[in-house]
């Protein structure tokens, strides 16, 4: 079965960086585009970024463009999100998700990033 | 990339039907037949309930249905059950690659 397991979250000071990881299993990873979606505490879902199946095409949400970088290593079945210049408003659960045509069909359980001094 | 507009809350009694609306623009819902709906229980990851406006993934109850007219999509849940109480989010393609979500709707089963 499809499994997506995120890691790398934690408490970090404003202005610092983190790298989130997502290990995929149960499907052919290099066939699928992958997303990151985040959810601030008590708030709704916010789409963050997408990367194509081969890593050649990437797109970002307006609030993270220029600070976050999505990447993947198909040899390791792993998706990454490099998050730089963190702000308090970046505090969220970050979900890794498998992309289908125009929607997300599977989600991981998420990893919490808390930005606080 | 403005969020799609959903009502903050809806409620219904067991056995009733409810409909959640999701309003976008000609750049997202109006431009693509790629509307999806997700159910999220507290502390859990979202779950896909509807994709491509009205298709159900395998395993999702037929009580869930979706539709779209112009810039507005809708999710209808018939025969409401206690387990349906959750947050529901709509989503649409905003470009050929990107997505936009609605603000979410809290469904209360009375």
Instruction: Say what the pLDDT of residue B95 is.
Output: 82
CB-nearest partner of B97 from A50, A100, A105: A50
pLDDT tens-digit map of A46-77: 999 999 999 999 999 999 999 999 999 999 99
Mutation site, A4, A44, A52, interface B, largest B CB count within 10 A: A44
Q: E-strand spans in B1-110?
A: 9-12, 18-23, 35-40, 47-50, 64-69, 72-77, 86-93, 99-101, 105-109
* Mean pLDDT within A41-49: 96
A35/B99 CB distance under 8 A: yes
Distances (CA, A) of B33 to A103, B7, B14, B96: 11, 21, 31, 11
Instruction: Say what the pLDDT of residue B94 is.
Output: 87
Residue of A85, A67, A70, A92 whose CA lies nearest to A10: A92
CB-nearest partner of B45 from A61, A95, A103: A95
- Rounded to whole angstroms, the Cα distance separating B102 from B82 reads 23
- Asked if residue B1 has pLDDT above 80, the reply is no
Residues of B in contact with A61 (CB under 8 A): 1, 98
Backbone angles phi and psi of B25, in degrees to 5:
-135, 180
- Rounded to whole angstroms, the Cα distance separating B105 from A65 reads 27
pLDDT tens-digit map of A7-26: 999 999 999 999 999 999 99
Phi and psi based region of residue A26 (left: phi greater than 0; alpha: psi -120 to 50; beta: remaining): left
* Mean pLDDT within B12-31: 96
Residues of A in contact with B104 (CB under 8 A): 44-45
């Amino acid at each position: 079965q499809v499994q997506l397991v995120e890691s790398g979250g934690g408490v970090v000071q404003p202005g610092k960086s983190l790298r989130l990881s997502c290990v995929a299993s149960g499907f052919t990873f290099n066939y699928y585009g992958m997303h990151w979606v985040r959810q601030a505490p008590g708030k709704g879902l916010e789409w963050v970024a997408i990367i194509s199946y081969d890593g050649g095409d990437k797109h970002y949400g307006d609030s993270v463009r220029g600070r976050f970088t999505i990447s993947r290593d198909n040899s390791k079945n792993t998706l990454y999100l490099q998050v730089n210049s963190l702000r308090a408003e970046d505090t969220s659960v970050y979900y890794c998700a498998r992309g289908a045509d125009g929607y997300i069909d599977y989600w991981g359980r998420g990893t919490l990033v808390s930005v606080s001094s | 990339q403005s969020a799609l507009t959903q009502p903050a809350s809806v409620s219904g009694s067991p056995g009733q039907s409810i409909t959640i609306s999701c309003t976008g623009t000609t750049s997202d819902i109006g431009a693509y037949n790629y509307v999806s709906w997700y159910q999220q229980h507290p502390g859990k990851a979202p779950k896909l309930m509807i994709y491509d406006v009205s298709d159900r993934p395998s395993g999702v109850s037929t009580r869930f249905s979706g539709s779209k007219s112009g810039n507005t999509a809708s999710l209808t849940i018939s025969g409401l059950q206690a387990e349906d109480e959750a947050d529901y989010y709509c989503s649409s393609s905003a470009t050929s690659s990107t997505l936009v979500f609605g603000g979410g709707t809290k469904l209360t089963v009375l």
